[in-house]
A and B are shown apart, each in its own frame.
Chain A
């Protein structure tokens, strides 16, 4: 782990230029998985044979003078809520344990067409509901940097897979922070792009107005290339924005001279001192690089958690109604359909999923709709108004990605509300659909990584990446001074 992992960009360059063979690259990653995933449990399924076959195909293409694409030979891990045709896609739920989708998610097709090699399907909190990957029917994932700690969630398997270098790039989904928070806790880059920039076709839905797919990577540039590969309009997703792929790499090294970086003066308290300290260091680094720090007020930011935990469960209760034992997944036999639905769902769903389905059903039920779901949607508007006002003054905003470094397994498992508070800083941009990303920026308590979150207005993903690349460069240039609270 002391060696710097090879970047996806370098891996692909080497394979495309016959410096290395895809089969050797893949074998190296599979060997690492074999050696250490028993301990980490990042994967629900390792695609050993398929990965080797695909690598041989990539090498064959190269030998015939054909270009397999920008991710040629890059080992990629997929969150297990992304549909892969004929390959189990479980959402880490008992209810889908044996299900093999009859189609590929659009991102899966695009990655394959770009030459990526899928090494496995990664663990998650069941149906992406959680912030620690402890709510998995197949056991928790451990943080590769300290296996007594969680990797964050819900895309904890994908974050851990990159942190342990089981894959050069991985993909997750982010409904309330499920990419950015685990990226922060595992010390890797994680991006939630603008809502609609990436097709959701084949992402098993949690909260349809909030869900967005995005990459985890070792470097900001790798994340940019990965996101360019999967973004762009898809007629199969009616919420997909009608424009081409995001253009991120071209301006990546443009710096932040004159960029207005917003500090939210009334940001909800609750981040631990080590995280606060690293956030301040990030403001300093951007100022040093020529950015201007401006204060913005966002009084409704604090209400994001409430709005989210009414809206997301409401959407989930509707989306998860399809798991009824009829068309896919498991069925618990019963004498009539109604009791079969109930028996199947009661056996198939875990505790947190049931909790959210009930919360959402309540928020949508007759007599409570206006008081809960209706009011939450109005609060969502207030938050969007706050962001619009903030972005009139600032080009990007900086906040913590997570209030704390990675916590111990079991620490929050029995207190759902404490777990929900992990998402305080990430949730608001899901409600608005704006992009956000977490960049590793030194370490905090217990030597664990701290992630800084960069937020930007919709479709300004490239500006967010410029700020991220600047922070990353700062880290590379100041290796020894990036520790706090240890």
Chain B
């Protein structure tokens, strides 16, 4: 069973329960149909991405970003900031110069 790398393609890499958990973590809500579709799509992708499973990556230094720059600092001096009214003017709801949100501890879903 399985291909040359010993993978068994019929077993999905990711289950509907996994996808549902991921959606919750990402603050997305899926209908039952969307969950079925997403599970199939993500499984197909992860199958494709299994091409790197065969690579020996022991001792390879992970690459986070392309530049040699690290911890770029600037002088701690006052600079221009964004205009508060302009920023708040683009928010869905504000009150007294602040962002307004619904209760944080509220009704559990």
Interface contact B44-A333, CB-CB below 8 Å: no
Interface of chain B, helix or strand or loop or mixed? Answer: loop
Q: For residue B53, which residue of chain A has the nearest CB?
A: A375
Q: What is the chain A residue whose CB lies nearest that of B86?
A: A102
Contacts of B44 in A (CB 8 A): 417
Q: Within the assembled complex, what's the spacing in Å between the Cα atoms of A303 and B56? A: 13
**A358 close to B42 (CB less than 8 A):** yes
A458 interface contact, C-beta 8 A: yes
**Which residues of B (37-94) have their CB < 8 Å from a CB of A?**
38, 41-42, 44-45, 48-49, 51-52, 55, 57, 60-67, 69, 72, 74, 82-83, 86-87, 90-93
Q: A345-B28, A355-B38, A384-B63 are in contact. Are A306 and B22 (CB under 8 A)?
A: no
Residue in A306, A357, A420 with the greatest tally of chain B CB atoms within 10 Å: A306
Q: A416-B41, A433-B66 are in contact. Are A376 and B28 (CB under 8 A)?
A: no
Report yes or no: A379 in contact with B55, Cβ–Cβ below 8 A: yes
The verdict on A317 contacting chain B, using a C-beta distance below 8 Å, is yes
Specify which of A303, A340, A362 lies most central, judged by the most chain B CB atoms within 10 Å of its CB: A362
The stretch among A128-136, A153-161, A324-332, A465-473 that forms the contact with chain B is: A324-332
Task: Name the segment of A53-61, A179-187, A215-223, A233-241 touching the other chain.
Answer: A233-241
Whether A239 pairs with B65 at a CB distance below 8 angstroms is yes
Say yes or no: A354-B104 contact (C-beta < 8 A), given A306-B48, A331-B93: no
Q: Mask for B2-27, Cβ within 8 A of A = 1, else 0?
A: 00000000000010001101110111
Which single member of B41, B60, B74, B83 contacts A381 (CB below 8 Å)?
B60
Q: Contact between B63 and A358 (Cβ–Cβ < 8 Å)?
A: no
Cα separation A317 to B23 with both chains bound (whole Å): 11
List of A residues within 8 angstroms of B19 by Cβ? 358, 362
B103 interface residue (CB < 8 Å to A): yes
Kindly identify which residue among A309, A365, A378 contacts B25, using a CB–CB cutoff of 8 Å: A365
For chain A, give the interface size range: 35 or more
Residues of A within 8 Å of B92, CB to CB, are: 325-326, 329-331
Contacts known (A102-B87, A317-B26, A326-B101); A337 close to B51, Cβ less than 8 A: no
Cα distance A324–B45 when bound, in Å?
27
Contact of A358 with B93 at beta-carbon distance under 8 Å, contacts A306-B48, A379-B55 already known:
no
Q: Is the CB of A379 within 8 A of B66?
A: no
Q: Within 8 Å CB of B55, what residues of A?
A: 303, 375, 379, 382
Cβ-defined contact, B67 with A361, below 8 A: no
Q: Are B38 and A381 in contact (CB under 8 A)?
A: no
> Of B23, B82, B83, B104, which is within 8 A of A337 by CB?
B104
CB distance from A74 to the nearest CB of B (A): 28
A102 touches B66 (CB 8 A): no
* A300-333 Cβ-contact flags toward B at 8 Å (1 or 0): 0011011101100000010001001111111101
Residue A342 lies at the interface, judged by CB distance under 8 Å to chain B? yes
Task: Report A-chain residues with C-beta under 8 Å of the C-beta of B60.
Answer: 378, 381-382
Among B14, B48, B72, B105, which residue has its beta carbon within 8 angstroms of that of A362? Answer: B14
Interface residues of A in 187-220 (CB under 8 A from B): 195-196, 208-209
Q: Decide yes or no whether B1 CB sits under 8 A from chain A.
A: no
Say whether A346 contacts B29, CB under 8 Å: yes
Smallest CB gap from B24: residue in A:
A342
A334 CB-CB contact with B under 8 Å: yes
On whether the beta carbons of B61 and A381 are closer than 8 Å, the reply is: yes
- Are B52 and A376 within 8 A (Cβ)? yes
A88–B93 CA distance with the chains assembled, in angstroms: 18
Docked Cα-Cα span, A357 to B26, in Å, equals: 7
A303 touches B52 (CB 8 A): yes
Flag whether A341 is at the interface (Cβ < 8 A): yes
Q: Are the CB atoms of A310 and B91 closer together than 8 Å? A: no
Check B66 against A209 for contact (C-beta < 8 Å).
yes
CB contacts (< 8 Å) of B26 on chain A: these are 317, 345, 354, 357-358, 361
Complex contact A235–B63 (CB within 8 A): no
The answer to whether A306 and B51 touch across the interface, beta carbons within 8 angstroms, is: yes
Cβ contacts under 8 Å, B90 to chain A: 99-102, 327-328
13 CB-based A-B contacts, threshold 8 Å: A196-B69, A306-B49, A309-B49, A325-B92, A333-B102, A336-B107, A357-B26, A358-B19, A358-B26, A365-B22, A380-B63, A381-B63, A416-B45
Knowing that A241-B69, A337-B101 touch, tell me 19 more A-B residue pairs with CB under 8 angstroms: A102-B86, A196-B67, A239-B67, A302-B51, A306-B51, A317-B26, A321-B27, A325-B92, A328-B90, A336-B107, A341-B27, A345-B28, A358-B22, A358-B38, A359-B42, A361-B26, A377-B63, A382-B60, A431-B66
**Chain B residues within CB distance 8 Å of chain A:** 14, 18-19, 21-23, 25-29, 38, 41-42, 44-45, 48-49, 51-52, 55, 57, 60-67, 69, 72, 74, 82-83, 86-87, 90-93, 99, 101-107, 109
